[in-house]
Every structure is written in C-alpha cells, then in structure tokens.
C-alpha cells in the first residue's frame, strides 16, 4: 500500500492475487485470428482428423478452464516448439496425456516440420512472440470447437 497526498491508502494490488485480465475477462482469450481456411484444410487430412478429445480431456478442460489451458499451451509451445534447434524434433509432442498435445497433433502444431507444412512457419530459427501467439490461438480454437 502507498499513501497519496491526502493520506489515503492506495491499494497497489487491488485484486491481490495477481489475476490477469484474461482471468477477469475470459472472453479476452486469443480470438483475433480467423482460422476457417486452416480448419477446412485440416478437415481434409485423414491423419489430422483422427484426433479427438477424450471424455477425460473434456473433464480436465472443464475443471481447469480455458484460461489455464491457454497458459499450458503457451508454456508447451515456448519450451517444446519455439527454440531454433530441437534435438528430438518430430517426437517432442506426446500423442496423449493432455488436451493441448491432442490439439497440437490435430492442428499440425506438433513439431517444426508440421508447422512448416501446415502453417508455413520455417524451422531453424526461434519462433517470434507473434508466431507463438498464433500457434496458441490455433490450439485453443481447436479445443473450443471440440470440447
């Protein structure tokens, strides 16, 4: 707390637990991209179309909420996909175990090779913050459509 000129206490942390604007306003989840053409293309892929959320995945999404799932997606992308050099590229994303992993495979966001094929994002360099945001938006859009 800090005092102002009239000796009133100002609460610098009004919401105290550092609640992000996305948590206060879930509608603020990434929605600025239009993925219609991408999802139409993905729907034509037999391999990509076979991925579906399990009942357990749907319960997990419901229990955790989309804000938390988006945080998980951002973290997975930053750690597993964003580096310029990924020693196990093509194998870094498990086929199950988290709804984000399922969404990564369903949307071609699972490895740098698939990122290039489906999203024209080249490998061999660090992903920009904007590219990471785009990838997370693709993943979250797929999860919303399938949960």
> Hey, where are the domains in the chain?
32-146
For residue 31, the model assigns a pLDDT of 54
Report the distance separating Cα 122 and Cα 84, nearest Å: 10
Q: Mind listing the pLDDT tens digit of every residue in the chain (147 residues)?
A: 444 444 444 443 333 333 333 444 444 455 567 899 999 999 999 999 999 999 999 999 999 999 999 999 999 999 999 999 999 999 999 999 999 999 999 999 999 999 999 999 999 999 999 999 999 999 999 999 999
The token pair at 53 is 């959320």
Place of tokens 């391999």: 47
For residue 77, give the nearest of 10, 30, 20, 25 by alpha carbon.
30
For residue 33, the model assigns a pLDDT of 79
């Amino acid at each position: 707390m800090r005092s102002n000129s009239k000796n009133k206490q100002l609460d610098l942390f009004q919401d105290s637990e550092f609640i992000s604007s996305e948590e206060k306003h879930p509608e603020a989840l990434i929605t600025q991209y239009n993925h219609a053409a991408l999802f139409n293309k993905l729907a034509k892929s037999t391999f990509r179309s076979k991925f579906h959320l399990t009942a357990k995945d749907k319960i997990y999404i419901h229990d955790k909420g989309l804000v938390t799932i988006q945080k998980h997606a951002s973290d997975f992308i930053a750690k597993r996909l964003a580096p310029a050099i990924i020693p196990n590229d093509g194998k870094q994303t498990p086929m199950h175990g988290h709804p984000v992993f399922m969404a990564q495979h369903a949307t071609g966001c699972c490895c740098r090779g698939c990122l290039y094929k489906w999203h024209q994002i080249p490998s061999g360099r660090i992903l920009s913050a904007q590219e990471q945001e785009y990838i997370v938006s693709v993943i979250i859009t797929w999860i919303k459509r399938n949960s």
